[in-house]
Amino acid sequence: MKQKTKMIHGGITGDETTGAVSVPIYQVSTYKQPRAGMHTGYEYSRTGNPTRAALESLIAELEGGAAGYAFSSGMAAISAVMMLFNHGDHIILTDDVYGGTYRVMAKVFNRMGIETTFCDTSSMDHIEKAIKPNTKAVYIETPTNPLLKITDLQKVSEITKKHRLFFIVDNTFNTPYFQNPISFGADIVLHSATKYLGGHSDVVGGLVVTATKELGEQLHFIQNSTGGILGPQDAWLLMRGMKTLALRMEAHEQNARKIGQFLESHKAVQKVYDPGSPSHSGHKIAKRQSRGFGGMLSFDIGKEQHVDLVLERLKLFTIAESLGAVESLISVPARMTHASIPQDRRLELGITDGLIRVSVGIEDIDDLLEDLEQGLAPLA
């Protein structure tokens, strides 16, 4: 089955007992047992819920994994994955990893004895150098946020196999429609489903897929023990969103590439970070390992004062955190998503005060380009 068809027919669809074509919202906490201690597959909704199970089977199928799990947010999903590790274990992470991931590792899991090294995972040398005797996993994002750096999934997989490490990929930006890390050897793929999977800025959720059944059972043990599950209403909303993921990703992709080209040719723009552009350092790798470049791009207009001037003029780009929804969103990483990173560290990473990140929506491209043109006009 092709990816586009899986969005509609993948996992558990509909309801066998009634013939309902949409999976019902099982708003239920507990289940009748025919005999004490004997259950029908469901006993208590923290452990398992039919609506959540349908979503979990769908994401597992979309990512080509053995098992899927749905959590109350991307951070709950990431935290559950980190709980697979023990006191004294060391994990290597992408240096410009999502801010919340950095925070939970540097301020929460560090207190529980999990050590971390943040490095440029687009360089295999940097990964190899960061490996220590107690290293247990390499955790990456590709593309990264907000600079859209690309990491070679195949190469990292070779390193992790050689050193017997877990390979974990946050696949939020590219979604399973464009990229399937498990097919390159990743052990765990996770998502902030709040973004493209939901796609309509109306639900917060997280999803995890494991490559093997055994790893899935370990993760289910953690999910059931710590309880950060996704509720049935939100599980249903996510499935509703995911049915159109293919169409939306294609629209995001087309619009983003055109906006990337427009920005690259604009005089007021100093630098464009667009993995879809042949001038981007990771373009070739992205092209090899993904079926699309995604709907995210960033550009630098130099001065901080310029940023407010431009953003105030824009009418179709809402200033907001988050990404991946049908409407175009625009943000200033230095002041918003990445404000908690100390300034010198931020500048080191390339997140300047003049950097603007765009989550390109699915509006008509002519309207988006016209809006950007008039927004940038005072600087041209």
Q: Does 331 bind ligand PLP (CB under 6 A)?
A: no
In whole angstroms, what is the distance from residue 148 CA to residue 275 CA?
Answer: 6
Q: Which of 6, 52, 149, 195 is catalytic?
A: 195
Q: Does 290 bind ligand PLP (CB under 6 A)?
A: no
Q: What is the pattern of x (binds ligand PLP, CB under 6 A) and - over residues 158-177? A: ------------x-x-----
Q: Does 51 bind ligand PLP (CB under 6 A)?
A: no
Q: How far is the CB of 354 from ligand PLP (least distance, A)?
A: 22
313 included as an active-site residue: no
Q: Does 187 bind ligand PLP (CB under 6 A)?
A: no
Closest to ligand PLP by CB, 73 vs 179, is 73
Q: Which of 98, 102, 139, 196 is catalytic?
A: 98
Q: Which of 46, 103, 155, 240 is catalytic?
A: 46
Closest to ligand PLP by CB, 310 vs 330, is 330
Residues 69-88 that bind ligand PLP (CB under 6 A): 73-75
152 included as an active-site residue: no
DSSP state of 38: B
Q: Does 141 bind ligand PLP (CB under 6 A)?
A: yes
98 included as an active-site residue: yes
Class of residue 24 by CB neighbours under 10 A (exposed 0-12, middle 13-18, buried 19+): middle
In whole angstroms, what is the distance from residue 214 CA to residue 219 CA?
Answer: 9
* One residue of 79, 116, 122, 192 binding ligand PLP per CB under 6 A: 192
Assign 10 to helix, strand or coil.
coil
Q: Which amino acid is at 367?
A: D
Closest of 85, 218, 66 to residue 139, by C-alpha = 85
Q: State the distance between the two ends of the chain, measured CA to CA, in whole angstroms.
A: 49
Q: How far is CA 147 from the centre of its chain?
A: 14
In whole angstroms, what is the distance from residue 365 CA to residue 362 CA?
Answer: 8
170 included as an active-site residue: yes
Q: For tokens 């039919």, what's the residue?
A: 50
Q: How far is the CB of 108 from ligand PLP (least distance, A)?
A: 14
Q: Does 96 bind ligand PLP (CB under 6 A)?
A: no
Q: Does 204 bind ligand PLP (CB under 6 A)?
A: yes
Q: Does 100 bind ligand PLP (CB under 6 A)?
A: yes
Under a CB-based contact definition with an 8 Å cutoff, are residues 329 and 322 in contact? Answer: yes
In whole angstroms, what is the distance from residue 73 CA to residue 108 CA?
Answer: 17
Contacts of 80 (CB under 8 A, 6+ apart): 69, 71, 208, 219, 222, 223, 226, 228
Count of positions (residues) in the chain: 380
* One residue of 3, 49, 51, 194 binding ligand PLP per CB under 6 A: 194
Closest to ligand PLP by CB, 169 vs 310, is 169
Under a CB-based contact definition with an 8 Å cutoff, are residues 286 and 275 in contact? Answer: yes
Binding positions for ligand PLP, rule: CB under 6 A: 73-75, 98, 100-101, 141, 145, 170, 172, 192, 194-195, 204, 206
